[in-house]
Amino acid sequence: MDSREPPSLRFASLLEEVWRLLADGQRLRQSPFHQAVLATSTARGPSARYVVLRQVDRERGMLGFHTDRRSDKWTEIERDPRVALCFHGHNVQVRVEGRAILHHDDAVADLAWKRTGLMSRRCYLADPAPGTVTPKPTSGLPAHLSKDRPNEAESAGGRVNFGVVIVPLQRIEWLHLAFEGHRRARLARTGAGPWRGEWLVP
């Protein structure tokens, strides 16, 4: 590559930028990278929904999010672990792909649960399960939790429903939108091998 090109147009810098955006997304609630659209495969075809970015491990090239093990997405990932996540913000779209790993009854899920606040734990107390058809609109939560967060003891009831989905990335696509012309690059790796980049016409 021409050494006069700006650093952001070198693959190594580009990877750094992507991981910085993702790390900010995990840390900062107001970051546009705090949530992503997650795509899974179903018997009907593709399914997409938002999830909150909860874990970013740049060293191992992994992202993670939390979900209810009773949700459709969990079952879909059990059946086909190939997933994609799509982020957009600061004139950049980041698309990532990998084979998800499900954690629910292990140290990874235990640690994530420990770090999950009471308000977030509340989501895992829905009864019946997320996605259940009901005769009227409902949160599925016990009535007193519509105003309050659960206490520690009550929140513990949600642990059995709590799952962590870790996605070791195998493919990252970066699209930068700009008036002078967009730029697009794909970075791919095999297993834990080095990332290799190529430019694409946007």
Ligand X SMILES: Cc1cc2nc3c(=O)[nH]c(=O)nc-3n(C[C@H](O)[C@H](O)[C@H](O)COP(=O)(O)O)c2cc1C
| 50 binding ligand X? (CB under 6 A) | yes
CB of 162 to ligand X, least distance (A): 10
Residue 76 is classified by DSSP as H
| Cα→Cα distances 97→121, 168, 169, Å | 27, 8, 6
Tell me: does residue 46 bind ligand X (CB under 6 A).
no
* Binding range to ligand X, per CB under 6 A, among 6-14, 70-78, 104-112, 174-182: 70-78
For the bound state, the minimum distance from the C-beta of residue 74 to ligand X, rounded and expressed in Å, comes to 7
Q: Which distant-in-sequence residues (6+ apart) come within 8 Å of 97 by Cβ?
A: 82, 83, 84, 85, 169, 170, 171
| Number of chain residues interacting with ligand X (CB under 6 A) | 15
Nearest alpha-carbon partner for 164 in 91, 22, 42, 68: 68
Q: Does 32 bind ligand X (CB under 6 A)?
A: no
d(CA 83, CA 39): 6
Interface residue with ligand X among 71, 110, 145, 154 (CB under 6 A) is 71
The single residue among 22, 26, 66, 124 that binds ligand X, judged by CB under 6 A, is 66
Distance between terminal CA atoms of the chain? 18
The reply on whether position 130 binds ligand X by CB under 6 A is yes
Q: Which of 10, 16, 35, 184 binds ligand X (CB under 6 A)?
A: 35
Q: Does 67 bind ligand X (CB under 6 A)?
A: yes
Cα–Cα distance measured from residue 152 to residue 1, given in angstroms and rounded to the nearest whole number? 55
Per CB under 6 A, residues contacting ligand X are: 35, 47, 49-52, 65-68, 71-73, 130-131
